[in-house]
């Protein structure tokens, strides 16, 4: 969570950081936050890295 919004930071050994987050703050209270990584078809990528789409869900969206 960052500023009340779902947030995720991927830290690749401090060499590269990728941040994604939601646009809307969640109301106060309990929430289930989920994270989904969907790999894209194989393509040239630096060693040790995978490419894909990332989704963060809060309130089921």
In a domain, 1, yes or no: no
Whole-angstrom distance, CA of residue 24 vs CA of residue 6: 8
Angular region, 15: left φ>0, alpha ψ -120 to 50, beta rest: alpha
In a domain, 2, yes or no: no
Q: Total structural domains in the chain?
A: 1
In a domain, 30, yes or no: yes
Q: Which domain holds residue 17?
A: 7-58
* Percent helix, percent strand, percent coil in the chain, to nearest 5: 0, 45, 55
Residue-level pLDDT, tens digit, the chain, 61 residues: 888 888 888 887 877 788 888 888 888 888 888 888 888 877 666 666 677 888 777 765 5
The pTM of this model reads: 0.55
């Amino acid at each position: 969570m960052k500023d009340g919004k779902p947030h995720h930071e991927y830290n690749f050994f401090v060499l590269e950081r990728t941040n994604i987050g939601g646009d809307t703050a969640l109301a106060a209270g309990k929430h289930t936050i989920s994270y989904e990584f969907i790999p894209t078809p194989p393509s040239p990528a630096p060693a040790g890295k995978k490419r894909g789409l990332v989704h963060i869900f809060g309130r089921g969206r």
